[in-house]
Amino acid sequence: MIQRSRGGASVSSTQAVQMINHQGAVLLDVRSIEAFHGGHIPQARHAPLPDLEKKAASLAKDKPVILVCEMGRSAVGAATKLRALGFTAVSILDGGIKAWTTAGLPLTTK
């Protein structure tokens, strides 16, 4: 079940995996380049907040997008920005990368 938070839809790590596998959701990691290179979710694209609009320009606005940050808070501003740009299916990874790793899910540095 997708929950609503202050920033919009919030999805658990398990829900995110299902959305990636069954709906072709795109992961956008809004953390710093250093944090991203230190370990990120496989298939995630780096899209720091200052570059978010440019990075999102190549995405279909009706395709599910899951925003990832360290703990799930910084992604709120990114979600607001994407919705203002016309994206219709924006979610935030509840608990961010911390929750992902706590759930035992993989990270990559590639």
Check which CATH number belongs to the domain holding 11 and give it. 3.40.250.10
Q: Is residue 69 annotated as part of the catalytic site, yes or no?
A: yes
**Domain range for residue 59?**
3-102
Closest CA to 65 of 1, 6, 5, 8: 8
Q: For the chain, what is the domain count?
A: 1
* Strand stretches in 1-110, DSSP E: 3-5, 8-11, 26-29, 45-46, 65-68, 90-93
Does some domain include residue 33?
yes
pLDDT for 7 equals 55
pLDDT band at 72 (very low <50, low <70, confident <90, very high): confident
pLDDT of 6-62, one tens digit each? 456 899 999 999 999 999 999 999 999 999 999 999 999 999 999 999 999 999 999
Catalytic residue (one of 11, 20, 52, 69): 69
pLDDT for 74 equals 86
Does some domain include residue 109?
no
Model pTM score? 0.91
